[in-house]
């Protein structure tokens, strides 16, 4: 039977969970001005090159333990964050921990976590703030990984897919088990307060593993989100529970935590930051820990029929939990790799519904095994599957495991195949994604992608094909296409100019800033100007020359869409005088109510009312 304090060992590092899960934080301005209600989307935004730092403190107290009366554990540390990759729907964040103070009175010595975590980890987080993957240094022990991973999953704040919703429910999982998270978004000055209450905890699996019975009495958390979703502003929370050991000892646990952003605490990495591909993204619970009484998950005992039923159950009803269902199936596939062929058989028999298929292909991608890769390849190469199925398999292959020449060549072949337009376009975009993933550590693959895209761009037939190739180049984020993009910013076709401008947004800011800023106020077509401003905003360009060009563009702009994007860009740089002044002047000049309200997202009433 598991020691009850082992459970405490895994629930204590709530600090790490919160610190990692809500890394991008800044406290709201301390003033009493009445500010406009937020109008922006409930999303998390990150841009490559962003950095921040935080101070975290957490305490777990056992108020009536007979072993150690009034015992407590605490963890204090700083966190330095770098956004190392940014994609359309997720970002990869590198988290490094320092100044670690860890007290573990509640945990037996043999169960305590040792080390300092200085190497850091990678967290892949979606635009809805859900954590997709965690990558650990390959030398880390399974227990250390689980220590961090289980806590990180405990305090996710998942934002709604429906942007009109202010009350929503999500099925989530933390270190206790699955539970129903009830959310509410409340306007708070220029921000949103996101309130999360945990209900209906399913504790059977954890009770079986730890040999204790327990129930959660209360679980609450709050996060402050700005309207654009760029930064969390603050995170606090508590969780209380009662444990009963096999000896019928009752232990009351109370966990509290708080995280504060402090850029001055940021520390530059002492060593070169590893590429994403250097981290191990396997599920910690799937690793062979050789624990005293067997594996934690017990997934090797679950049959395909049982996992199939569990998977489908997560996708029923109005609140379809695609990520959790995919992660659950991926865990099973990693634990039972020889059973992966049953997924292919079920797909061929059309046993998965159209609603389930996206999660199936995501699970095959997340599993990251040789067997799951072979299933994806089999789907791509079987013309009996629907085009959409094959396209989803291609997309999953592009992000599956380590980039390889085998997969790259396969995807390139289908990108050149003219028999299916859907498959060829999706494959072409996937080639770009492979180039992005391989550039740091897989030079042969990266060079193959670069050569292929260059050839496709030079040989493109017609506007549509050239636009698709430019989009793939944008996915690759390869700075070496700078000259090709510059030439196309002068193209007679607006769609080609727009795609060329947008392709810069995944490259280094220094590459595209000068040419885009120079072209912005000479560009006659609004769609191209929109792409230019979106690129500058994504790249977080804040040089005085660029912001001055943005101010000039906002003054004469007639398109509402372009004005809105200009406000977003200048608003993100509101700490710069030229950007702030441009917004204030636009507010007094503007006659469109929506644009005025949009400006109000970024500036206080005091700023807007000044002459």
Identify the structural domains of the chain with CATH numbers, from first to last: 50-271 (2.30.230.10)
Task: Give residue-wise pLDDT tens across range 556-599.
Answer: 999 999 999 999 999 888 889 999 999 999 999 999 998 988 88
User: Is 50 exceeded by the pLDDT of residue 30?
Assistant: no
pTM: 0.60
* CA dist., res. 67 & res. 399, Å (int): 49
- 401 or 516: whose pLDDT is higher? 516
Task: Give residue-wise pLDDT tens across range 187-225.
Answer: 877 788 889 998 887 765 555 445 556 778 888 889 888
Q: Is 610 helix (H, G, I), strand (E, B) or coil?
A: coil
Lowest mean pLDDT among 35-44, 110-119, 301-310, 525-534: 35-44
DSSP one-letter string for 467-487: HHHHHHHHHHT-GGGHHHHHH
Lowest mean pLDDT among 33-37, 85-89, 247-251, 274-278: 33-37
* DSSP secondary structure letter of residue 202: E
User: Is 70 exceeded by the pLDDT of residue 20?
Assistant: no
Task: Give residue-wise pLDDT tens across range 140-198.
Answer: 877 778 777 776 777 688 888 777 778 888 878 777 777 888 999 888 777 888 899 98
Q: Is 316 helix (H, G, I), strand (E, B) or coil?
A: coil
Lowest mean pLDDT among 129-138, 262-271, 379-388, 592-601: 262-271
* CA dist., res. 579 & res. 547, Å (int): 6
Q: Is 262 helix (H, G, I), strand (E, B) or coil?
A: coil
- Residue 489's nearest CA partner among 476, 507, 470, 472 is 470
Pairing state of beta strands 213-225 and 232-244?
A: antiparallel
Residues whose CB falls within 8 Å of the CB of residue 233, separated by 6 or more in sequence, listed in order: 25, 26, 27, 28, 191, 223, 224, 225, 226
CB atoms within 10 A of CB 55: 17
Strand partners, 196: 183, 221
Query: Looking at residue 211, what is its pLDDT?
Result: 54
User: pLDDT band at 434, cuts 50/70/90?
Assistant: very high
User: Is 70 exceeded by the pLDDT of residue 31?
Assistant: no
């Amino acid at each position: 039977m598991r020691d009850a304090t082992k459970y405490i060992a895994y629930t204590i590092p709530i600090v790490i969970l919160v610190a990692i899960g809500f890394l991008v934080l800044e406290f709201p301005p301390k003033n009493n001005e009445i500010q406009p209600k937020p109008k922006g989307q409930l999303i998390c935004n990150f841009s490559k090159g962003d950095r921040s730092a935080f101070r975290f403190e957490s305490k777990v107290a056992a108020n009536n333990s007979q072993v150690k009366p009034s015992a407590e554990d605490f963890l204090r540390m700083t966190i330095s964050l770098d956004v190392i990759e940014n994609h359309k729907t997720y970002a990869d964040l590198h988290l490094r921990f320092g100044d670690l103070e860890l007290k573990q009175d509640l945990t037996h010595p043999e169960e305590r976590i040792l080390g300092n975590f200085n190497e850091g980890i990678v967290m892949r987080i979606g635009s809805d703030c859900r954590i997709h993957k965690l990558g650990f240094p390959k030398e880390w022990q399974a227990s250390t990984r689980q220590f961090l991973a289980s806590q990180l999953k405990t305090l996710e704040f998942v934002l709604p897919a429906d942007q009109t919703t202010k009350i929503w429910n999500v099925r989530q999982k933390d270190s206790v088990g699955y539970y129903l998270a009830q959310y509410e978004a409340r306007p708070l000055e220029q921000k949103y307060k996101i309130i999360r209450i945990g209900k209906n905890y399913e504790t059977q699996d954890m009770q079986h593993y730890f040999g204790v019975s327990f129930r959660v009495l209360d679980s609450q958390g709050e996060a402050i989100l700005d309207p654009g979703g760029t930064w969390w502003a603050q995170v606090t929370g508590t969780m209380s529970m009662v444990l009963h050991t096999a000896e019928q000892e009752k232990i009351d646990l109370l966990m509290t935590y708080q995280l504060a952003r402090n850029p001055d605490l940021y520390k530059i990495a002492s060593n070169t930051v590893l590429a994403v591909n250097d981290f191990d993204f396997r599920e910690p619970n799937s690793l062979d820990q050789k624990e005293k009484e067997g594996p934690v998950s017990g997934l090797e005992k679950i049959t395909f029929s049982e996992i199939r039923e569990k998977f489908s159950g997560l996708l029923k009803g109005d609140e379809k939990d695609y990520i959790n269902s995919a992660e659950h199936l991926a865990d099973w596939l990693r634990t039972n790799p020889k059973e992966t062929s049953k997924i292919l058989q079920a797909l061929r028999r059309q046993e998965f519904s159209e609603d389930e298929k996206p999660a199936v292909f995501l699970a095959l991608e997340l599993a990251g095994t040789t067997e799951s890769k072979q299933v994806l390849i089999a789907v791509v190469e079987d013309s009996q599957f629907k085009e959409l199925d094959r396209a989803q398999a291609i997309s999953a292959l592009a992000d599956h495991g380590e980039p390889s020449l085998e997969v790259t060549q396969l995807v390139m072949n289908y990108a050149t195949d003219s028999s299916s337009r859907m498959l060829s376009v999706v494959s072409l975009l996937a080639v770009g994604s492979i180039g992005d993933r391989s550039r740091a550590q897989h030079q042969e693959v990266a060079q193959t992608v670069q050569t292929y895209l260059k050839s496709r761009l030079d040989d493109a037939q017609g506007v549509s094909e050239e636009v698709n190739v430019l989009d793939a180049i944008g996915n690759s984020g390869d700075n070496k296409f700078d000259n090709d993009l510059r030439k196309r910013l002068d193209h007679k076709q607006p769609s080609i100019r727009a795609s060329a401008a947008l392709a810069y947004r995944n490259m280094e800011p220094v590459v595209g800033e000068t040419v885009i800023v120079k072209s912005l106020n000479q560009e006659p077509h609004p769609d191209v100007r929109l792409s230019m401003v979106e690129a500058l905003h994504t790249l977080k360009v804040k040089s005085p020359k660029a912001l001055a060009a943005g101010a000039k563009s906002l003054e004469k702009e007639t398109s509402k869409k372009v004005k809105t994007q200009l406000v977003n860009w200048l608003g993100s740089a509101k700490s710069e005088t030229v950007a702030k002044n441009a917004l204030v002047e636009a507010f007094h000049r503007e006659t469109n109510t929506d644009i005025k309200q949009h400006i109000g997202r970024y500036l206080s009433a005091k700023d807007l009312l000044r002459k």
